[in-house]
C-alpha cells in the first residue's frame, strides 16, 4: 500500500476525521474515513467515507446522487485530520436537504437553523424507511 | 447551565470535535472542546479548546498571542461537531508557524507542504523547551 496512507495517524478505531469543504470555502460536512475509504477517495476522485453507524464504506451520494467530487486532499500538521476540497453535486451535502450540515448557529443561548431546506429528504431518499 | 450546551452530543470522553474556519473561508485548525471550554468560548468571544495531550483547558494564543476571535458558533445536523467562524490574530494558527494546520496536500502519492512558514516557531514560543 502507498506510503502516503502510512503517514496518516489513524485512530485506535482505524479511522481519521474528515472535513469536507466546497471549492468556494463553505464547510459542508464532517465524517470519518478508514484507510480503505481514503485510498478509494483518492483513486475515484469522489468522497468515500466510512460510516460508523452502518460499519461499512459509504460512497457519499450512493443513494441520493449527491456525490462529492474531490479537488484536493490535505492533512494537518499532526497528520491526524483530513481536509477535502470538493464540489458538492446537487448542492446538497446534508441528509436534511440543506446545503451544509452546519446549519445551526448559536444566537444568544439558542441554536437557530439558519440555512433553508433545499429539497425534501423524502424526495432525496425515496427508499428510506424512516 | 444553559440548554444550548445540553443540545450538544458530547463524546464518551466529554469532548466535541471543533473546526476553526476564518471569516474568509480558510479552515485553519481542528481541535476539541469540553463543555466548560465551549461555554468559555461563547462567553469570552475567543476560542478556548480542551487540550487532550495536556488534559486541560487551552485558551488558544495564551502563549503565542495568536488568539482566535469568535464571530459565529455553529453545530451540525447531529449536533456532534462544532464549526467556529474566527478571526485569527497574527495570521498564524499552526504551531509550525504557518497560517493553517492544513498545509500538507496530496500530490500523486506524496504529501507536499504547500504553505510557507510565516514565523519561526522558536520566535512564537520562546518559553518552549523542545
Report yes or no on B8 lying in a domain: yes
Q: Is A77 in Cβ contact with B95 (below 8 Å)? A: yes
Report yes or no on B14 lying in a domain: yes
Q: pLDDT tens digits for A71-126?
A: 999 999 999 999 999 999 999 999 999 999 999 999 999 999 999 999 999 988 88
Report yes or no on B13 lying in a domain: yes
Q: Provide the whole-model pTM.
A: 0.95
The interface predicted TM-score (ipTM) is 0.94
pLDDT, mean over chain B: 94
> What phi, psi does B15 have (nearest 5°)?
-115, 160
Report yes or no on B128 lying in a domain: no
CB atoms closer than 10 angstroms to residue A14 = 12
Would you say the C-alpha torsion B4, B8, B12, B14 has a positive or negative sign? negative
Q: pLDDT at residue A127 above 60?
A: yes
pLDDT for res B1: 53
Q: Per-residue pLDDT averaged across B40-54, rounded?
A: 97
Rounded distance, CA A115 to CA A102, Å? 9
Q: Is A24 in Cβ contact with B26 (below 8 Å)? A: no
Top pLDDT among B130 and B12 is at: B12
Total of domains in chain B:
1
Report yes or no on A111 lying in a domain: no
Report yes or no on B124 lying in a domain: no
- Enumerate the H helices of chain A as residue ranges: 3-6, 35-44, 121-124
CA dihedral A56, A30, B94, A104 (to 10 degrees): -160
pLDDT for res B22: 97
CATH number of the domain at A22, please. Answer: 3.10.20.810
Report yes or no on A109 lying in a domain: no
Q: pLDDT at residue A64 above 50?
A: yes
Instruction: Extract the C-alpha cell encoding B37.
Output: 471550554
All residues of chain A having their beta carbon less than 8 Å from the beta carbon of residue B2 are 109
Q: Cα distance from A104 to chain B (closest Cα, Å)?
A: 5
Q: Is B2 in Cβ contact with A76 (below 8 Å)? A: no
Q: Cα distance from B10 to chain A (closest Cα, Å)?
A: 15
Q: Is A19 in Cβ contact with B19 (below 8 Å)? A: yes
Q: Is B2 in Cβ contact with A19 (below 8 Å)? A: no
pLDDT for res A91: 94
Report yes or no on B39 lying in a domain: yes
Domain coverage including residue A33: 3-95
Q: Which residue has the cell 502563549?
A: B63
Tell me if chain A has a CB within 8 Å of the CB of B53.
no
Amino acid at each position: 500500500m502507498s506510503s502516503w496512507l502510512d503517514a496518516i495517524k489513524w485512530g485506535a478505531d482505524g479511522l481519521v476525521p474528515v472535513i469536507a469543504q466546497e471549492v468556494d470555502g463553505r464547510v459542508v460536512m464532517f465524517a470519518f474515513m478508514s484507510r480503505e475509504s481514503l485510498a478509494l477517495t483518492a483513486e475515484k476522485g469522489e468522497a468515500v467515507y466510512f460510516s460508523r453507524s452502518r460499519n461499512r464504506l459509504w460512497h457519499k451520494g450512493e443513494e441520493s446522487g449527491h456525490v462529492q467530487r474531490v479537488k484536493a486532499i490535505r492533512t494537518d500538521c499532526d497528520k491526524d485530520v483530513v481536509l477535502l476540497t470538493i464540489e458538492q453535486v446537487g448542492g446538497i451535502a446534508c441528509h436534511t436537504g440543506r446545503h451544509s450540515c452546519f446549519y445551526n448557529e448559536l444566537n444568544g443561548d439558542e441554536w437557530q437553523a439558519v440555512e433553508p431546506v433545499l429539497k425534501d429528504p423524502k424526495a432525496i431518499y425515496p427508499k428510506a424507511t424512516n
